[in-house]
């Protein structure tokens, strides 16, 4: 044990060059992540830059957390201004930026109330707790391939066994049904079901959009059985699919709507919006120290204003549709099983593994994501220049041709 805080040892970490730092990170990080052999130091719009100044086209948006791209001027200006006022202000006090943001978000989602937190998993934790409180029931019906986060409650509703099983026992009374299968959903929802939880487009599970009518039928079923409908828009929210929220495509009203990722413009933030059937929570029933902090609220407000005052959402719908048509017409059938998605949330299901494809894309200057082991997922920032988008598409096409 060192006798005191060793400032000399810490100083060496500031002097290390980029290669040393990657090794240092390997040595000290938890080990919980697969890491790519790439150090990102800067981002601008839909471009990422590595330590050598090489530029990459970003088709990952920080796992979907920067729909407005990196360094959006409206977000930066709002954050800088807010930093000069105050950054932390727990919800025991009122705060004007939070007041404005909550109203703006509730208006945008057409839901009366909101609980603010700091991540997607936390948003789903809140939704599960609120659903139990509001219904007095404990059952949750989730979907196969569904992803709702990694904390114990949210994890309980996440399908992937390798995420879940090492941590059993999780919270009880969660059942999984196949996505887009109404009969199985109907059979699973009973008078002990507190809520059905669904993504309008399954993200991590392979980019599977809800079929026409599925979400509406899920909502009708929830109403009929006295259960609530939780819609998880952590990944699909804030314009990603060509609507502010993806459930707007299906014209439904969630009882609980969870959001995070892109909501704070890059500042960690999450929320659980609360519908009329749920109503207000009782004081002290839930809480979060950083939830609703003014810095995140200022970022969130800039995101909502930017989306409202630009055509980024319509552009995402249009560009996404064109890109998917292009892929369907041009990607080689020998390597590609299916192209699916909504707006700029696109999944390309491969016949083989996605990992080597991702490595080759990175070598050629395109950063993309997997969604499971065989789906290539593209989530470019909505601000991506058309030139960059089509350049990335051409590189994807080339790499998949060569993979045949």
Q: What is the contact surface with ligand PLP in residues (CB under 6 A)? A: 119-121, 124, 147-149, 199, 203-204, 232, 234-235, 260
Cis peptide before 21, with omega less than 30 degrees from 0? no
Q: How far is the CB of 246 from ligand PLP (least distance, A)?
A: 10
Q: How far is the CB of 286 from ligand PLP (least distance, A)?
A: 16
Pick the closer one to ligand PLP by CB: 121 or 399: 121
The helix-helix angle for 96-109 and 294-308 (nearest 10°) equals 40
Q: How far is the CB of 235 from ligand PLP (least distance, A)?
A: 3
Pick the closer one to ligand PLP by CB: 288 or 395: 288
Q: Would residue 351 be called left, alpha or beta, if left means φ above 0 and alpha means ψ between -120 and 50 degrees?
A: alpha
- Contacts of residue 284, defined as CB under 8 A and 6 or more positions apart, other chains included, come to none
Q: How far is the CB of 114 from ligand PLP (least distance, A)?
A: 17
C-alpha 352/C-alpha 370 separation (Å) is 12
C-alpha 228/C-alpha 141 separation (Å) is 10
Pick the closer one to ligand PLP by CB: 188 or 272: 272
Q: Report phi then psi at 218, rounded to 5.
A: -65, -40
Pick the closer one to ligand PLP by CB: 124 or 193: 124
Q: How far is the CB of 342 from ligand PLP (least distance, A)?
A: 14
C-alpha 123/C-alpha 104 separation (Å) is 18
Cα dihedral 388, 377, 180, 273, rounded to 10, equals -80
Pick the closer one to ligand PLP by CB: 117 or 339: 117
H or E, element range at 390: helix 386-402
Beta pairing partners, 274 = 113, 256
Q: How far is the CB of 241 from ligand PLP (least distance, A)?
A: 12
Residue whose CB is nearest to ligand PLP in the complex, by number: 120
C-alpha 66/C-alpha 289 separation (Å) is 24
In the numeric block, which tokens belong to residue 158? 């996440």
C-alpha 368/C-alpha 179 separation (Å) is 25
Pick the closer one to ligand PLP by CB: 289 or 402: 289
Q: How far is the CB of 396 from ligand PLP (least distance, A)?
A: 22
Pick the closer one to ligand PLP by CB: 124 or 374: 124
């Amino acid at each position: 044990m060192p006798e005191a805080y060793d400032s000399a040892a810490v100083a060496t970490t500031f002097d290390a060059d980029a290669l040393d730092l990657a090794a240092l990170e390997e040595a000290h990080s938890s080990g919980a992540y697969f890491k790519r052999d790439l150090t990102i130091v800067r981002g601008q719009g839909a471009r990422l830059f590595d330590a050598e100044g090489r530029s990459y086209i970003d088709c990952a948006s920080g796992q979907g957390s920067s729909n407005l791209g990196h360094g959006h001027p409206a977000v930066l200006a709002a954050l800088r201004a807010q930093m000069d006022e105050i950054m932390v202000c727990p919800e025991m006090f009122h705060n004007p930026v939070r007041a404005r943001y909550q109203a703006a978000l509730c208006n945008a989602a057409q839901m009366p109330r909101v609980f603010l937190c700091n991540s997607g998993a936390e948003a789903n934790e809140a939704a599960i707790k609120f659903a139990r409180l509001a219904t007095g029931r404990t059952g949750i019906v989730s979907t196969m391939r569904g992803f709702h986060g990694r904390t114990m409650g949210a994890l309980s509703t996440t399908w992937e066994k390798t995420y879940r099983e090492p941590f059993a026992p999780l919270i009880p009374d969660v059942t999984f049904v196949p996505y887009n299968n109404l009969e199985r959903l109907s059979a699973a929802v009973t008078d002990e079901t507190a809520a059905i939880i669904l993504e309008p487009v399954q993200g991590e599970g392979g980019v599977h959009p809800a079929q026409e009518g599925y979400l509406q039928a899920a909502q009708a079923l929830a109403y009929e059985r006295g259960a609530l409908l939780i819609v998880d828009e952590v990944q699909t929210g804030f314009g990603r699919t060509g609507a502010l929220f993806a459930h707007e495509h299906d014209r439904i009203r969630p009882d609980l709507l969870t959001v995070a990722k892109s909501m704070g413009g890059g500042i960690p933030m999450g929320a659980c919006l609360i519908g009329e059937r749920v109503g207000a929570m009782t004081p002290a029933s839930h809480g979060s120290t950083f939830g609703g902090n003014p810095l995140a609220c200022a970022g969130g407000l800039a995101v909502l204003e930017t989306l409202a005052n630009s055509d980024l959402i319509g552009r995402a719908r249009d560009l996404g549709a064109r890109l998917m048509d292009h892929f369907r017409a041009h990607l080689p059938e020998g390597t590609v099983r299916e192209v699916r998605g909504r707006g700029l949330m696109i999944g390309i299901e491969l016949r083989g593994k996605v990992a080597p494809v991702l490595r080759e894309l990175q070598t050629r200057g395109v950063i993309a994501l997997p969604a499971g082991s065989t789906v290539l997922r593209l989530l470019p920032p909505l601000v991506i220049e058309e030139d960059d988008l089509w350049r990335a598409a051409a590189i994807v096409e080339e790499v998949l041709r060569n993979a045949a």
